[in-house]
Amino acid sequence: MRWKINPLPDQKIVTALQETLKIDAILATLLAQRGITDFAEAEKFFRPSSHHLHDPYLMKDMQKAVARISTALEKGERILVYGDYDVDGTTSVALMASYLGNFTTNLSTYIPDRYQEGYGVSYEGIDFADNNDFSLIIALDCGIKAVDKVAYALEKGIDFIICDHHTPGEQVPDAYAILNPKQKDCSYPYKELCGCGVGFKLIQALHLHKKHVFEDLIPYLDLVAVAIGADIVPMTGENRVLMHLGLSVLNTKPRPGFQQILAQLKKKTFDVYDVVFVIAPRINAAGRMKHGSYAVQLLMENDTEQAKQQCAAIETYNKDRKETDANITEEALLQIEKNGETQHKTTVVYQENWHKGVIGIVASRLTEHYYRPTVVFTKSGEKLAASARSVSGFDLYEALECCAEHIEQFGGHKYAAGLTLLPEKYQAFKDTFEKVVTESILPELLEPSLKIDLEITLGDISEKFYRILQQMAPFGPGNMSPVFVARQVRDTGYAKAIGKENDHLRLTLTQNGSAPIASVGFGFGHLAEQIKHRAFDVVFSLDKNVWNGQESLQLKIKDIRVV
């Protein structure tokens, strides 16, 4: 990988932070690199608090949304809480329905069927609302592009409140209220909320309207934390505060659904990693393999025994998902090789019987494998549906806009999107997408890069140093766990390949007589012999290894260069 070491910040800021915070130069540099320049910002960073959240009424249309929901509650109108089938969508629906359920029983939830209805607001969902006398739909994590569907609902006398975070198109729906900080005319200070985050701002505003205290809302923040982690939104600003508060709920009093998932882990405390790699895939599995409504049921379940049974079912869906995505990934790799497309600047693959529920995961795996913008298609009714993923630094959404003439519908972010097109347009889209990316992508973006915060020595590492680093959590995009490089290190002579296939590396490193430190490198087993008795440079993060109940500091190796 290309090693990209972050530029050193202004030394005056580093020195000032050292003196003010009474910390060493390494920690002061890490803070300055994250944009922290004084004591007040550092305090906010190290002590995230609900006081740091913005006033929800700063968001465009918030007043209108609160007024409409308040009217619906007063009049006993039937409210339908509508959301997408992924983690962000299902947590959003569980959040809003749980909260509104405190004030009304005229409430129901709706998750579209991934296969019958596809992504976002559907005509079937609106017909369901109409047939069951719902007069208000609150759409979460979707709706910003549902211009025709919202118009269809209006014809039936149904109002829409849209809570979304996806990039709006040129025209927005004629909804009663649209809450989306990414609207050009929305002055809300923080633009990077996930769908569940926008939903939380709405219940925060409703709560303020009712003159209730913020502390009442804290039990809902486990849902928001899981959505933030799953949707890979920046771990900055409000997201970082909400994640901090939500992790506290997950670690002290999670709702029964999360409690049952977390019970499978033999850990005392849970962090962002557990959210992203343990909780999120299981919540997602319901919508991928069965139906997203199963996830909502689990997230809203208050009975522990019921939650245990529902969790067992979702665990089965997750195992099926793993098998399915592994098989499709293998087929896709063979297709690329067979078509002679290994040297292309994009990956675009299609097979009509691929499982629609896992093509997003397959797109991510193919992106990791070839490191280039990727689109994976399958058949969905009369059309082709796809999930797209990008590489760091390349705007996938803009590239898809350049292919719009071949696309029926698309939506998403800079790095991930979904789209549909007619079968006869597939080849034209594939050719155009390759052309657009080839002409616009910088060559270096097609090579995976490794971002490094700082060069340090192994002698700088201590338990105290690690403890302070951990106070910089929660980590995520925009505030990643610090990554370091150390030069001219050596193994003490015990390096060995480990694992079933000997594909991982365990070694003990020292540098210029420093105390030896245990290290592990996943996927580096092939270097075991090569590094013996030789100096090398190593990129790593710090981690805790737990063995037989004992904890010890270790380096988690990210790359090695033999000098």
Rounded distance between C-alpha atoms, residue 322 and residue 198, angstroms: 31
371 and 463 together in one domain: no
Task: Fill in the amino acid letter for 254.
Answer: P
Among 368, 411, 428, residue whose Cα is nearest residue 392: 368
For the stretch 479-527, pLDDT in tens is 999 999 999 999 998 899 999 999 999 999 999 999 999 999 999 999 9
**206-244 pLDDT, tens digit each:** 999 999 999 999 999 999 999 999 998 999 999 999 999
Say what the pLDDT of residue 239 is: 98
Residues 421, 546, single domain; the answer is no
What local confidence, expressed as pLDDT, does residue 26 receive?
Answer: 96
Calpha distance 138→109 (Å, rounded): 10
Per residue in 20-55, pLDDT tens? 999 999 999 999 999 999 999 999 999 999 999 999
Q: What is the mean pLDDT of residues 196-200?
A: 98
Whether 160 and 193 map to the same domain: the answer is yes
Q: Is 209 within a domain?
A: yes
In which band, very low, low, confident or very high, does the pLDDT at 551 lie, cut at 50, 70 and 90? confident
**Counted domains in the chain:** 4
Q: Which tokens go with 137?
A: 């739909």
Q: How confident is the model at residue 46, as a pLDDT?
A: 94
* CA-based torsion, 245, 247, 248, 249: positive or negative: positive
Binning pLDDT at 50, 70 and 90, where does residue 415 land? confident
Give the list of residues 6+ apart from residue 394 with CB closer than 8 angstroms, or none.
Answer: 373, 437, 441, 445
Distance (Å, whole) CA 480 – CA 325: 28
**Which residues is 429 bridged to in the sheet?**
none
Q: How confident is the model at residue 299 (pLDDT cuts 50, 70, 90)?
A: very high
How far apart CA 333 and CA 338 sit, in angstroms, is: 9
Residue 327 covered by a domain: no
Of all residues in the chain, the percent with pLDDT exceeding 70 is 100
Residue 17 parent element (H or E): helix 11-21
Per-residue confidence at 265, pLDDT binned at 50, 70, 90? confident
Helix ranges restricted to H, 301-453: 304-338, 359-370, 396-401, 426-440
Q: Residue 97 class from Cβ within 10 Å (0-12 exposed, 13-18 middle, 19+ buried)?
A: buried
Token pair of 529 as six digits: 């012999």
CA-to-CA distance for 50 and 53, rounded, in angstroms?
Answer: 5
Whether residue 388 is predicted with pLDDT greater than 90 in this model: the reply is yes
Same domain, 125 and 252: yes
Within a 10 A sphere around the Cβ of 471, how many other Cβ atoms? Answer: 10
Q: Are residues 408 and 364 in the same domain?
A: yes
Q: What is the CATH number of the domain that holds 224?
A: 3.90.1640.30
Measured distance CA(500)–CA(504) in Å, rounded: 9
Query: Which residue, 494, 497, 93, 457, is CA-closest to 299?
Result: 93
**The pLDDT of residue 281:** 94
Are 433 and 464 contained in the same domain? no
Under the banding of pLDDT at 50, 70 and 90, the label for residue 550 is confident
Residue 23 placed within a domain: yes
Three-class SS of residue 159? Answer: strand
Cα distance between residue 362 and residue 216, in whole Å:
40
The domain containing residue 24 runs over which residues?
Answer: 8-38
Which residue is associated with the tokens 């923080």? 190
Do the Cβ atoms of 354 and 328 come closer than 8 Å?
yes
Position 198 in a domain? yes
SS3 content of the chain, % helix, strand, coil (to 5): 45, 20, 35
Do 180 and 254 reside in the same domain of the chain?
yes
Contact predicate 244/476, CB 8 Å: no
Digit-coded pLDDT (tens) for 421-478: 999 999 999 999 999 999 999 999 999 999 999 999 999 999 999 999 999 999 999 9
* 462 and 431 together in one domain: no
Output phi, psi for 210, to 5 deg: -85, 0
pLDDT band at 128 (very low <50, low <70, confident <90, very high): very high
Cis peptide before 423 (omega within 30 of 0): no
Q: Which of 446, 473, 507 is the last residue of a domain?
A: 446
Is residue 44 domain-resident? Answer: no
C-beta of residue 151 within 8 angstroms of C-beta of residue 206: no
Q: What confidence tens digit (pLDDT) does each residue in 59-115 have? A: 999 999 999 999 999 999 999 999 999 999 999 999 999 999 999 999 999 999 988
Residues 531 and 476 in one domain: yes
Rounded CA-CA distance 159/111 in Å is 18
- The half-sphere exposure of 563 on its side-chain side, counting CA atoms within 13 A, is 11
Tell which residue, 482, 477, 480, 476, has the closest CA to residue 455: 482
Phi, psi torsion values for 330, nearest 5 degrees: -60, -45
DSSP label at residue 478:
T
- Residue 147 phi/psi, 5-degree rounding, is -60, -50
| In a domain? residue 110 | yes
Instruction: Supply the pLDDT for residue 425.
Output: 97
**201 and 193 Cβ atoms separated by less than 8 Å:** yes
pLDDT of 118 > 90? The answer is no
Cβ count near 155 (within 10 Å): 9
Under 8 Å between Cβ of 166 and 54: no
- On the question of a cis peptide bond just before residue 254, with omega within 30 degrees of 0, the verdict is no
The CATH number given to whatever domain includes residue 401 is 3.10.310.30
DSSP secondary structure code for residue 7 in this structure: P
Residue 61 has φ and ψ, to the nearest 5°, of 75, 5
Last-in-domain residue among 446, 474, 503:
446
Looking at residue 548, its pLDDT comes to 76
Query: How high is the mean pLDDT of the chain?
Result: 95
Residue 331 included in any domain: no
Q: Are residues 111 and 176 in the same domain?
A: yes
Regarding whether 497 and 430 lie in a shared domain, the answer is no
In a domain, 251, yes or no: yes
CB-CB contact of 283 with 259 (8 Å): no
Task: For residues 165 and 83, give the distance between their C-alpha atoms in angstroms, rounded to a whole number.
Answer: 13
* ∠ CA 26-31-33, rounded to 5°: 95
| pLDDT for residue 266 is more than 80 | no
What is d(CA 406, CA 360) in angstroms, rounded to the nearest whole number?
A: 20
Distance between CA 83 and CA 33 in Å, rounded?
37
Same domain (yes/no): 460, 417? no
Over residues 384-394, mean pLDDT: 95
Helices 25-33 and 463-470 pack at an angle, to 10 degrees, of 20
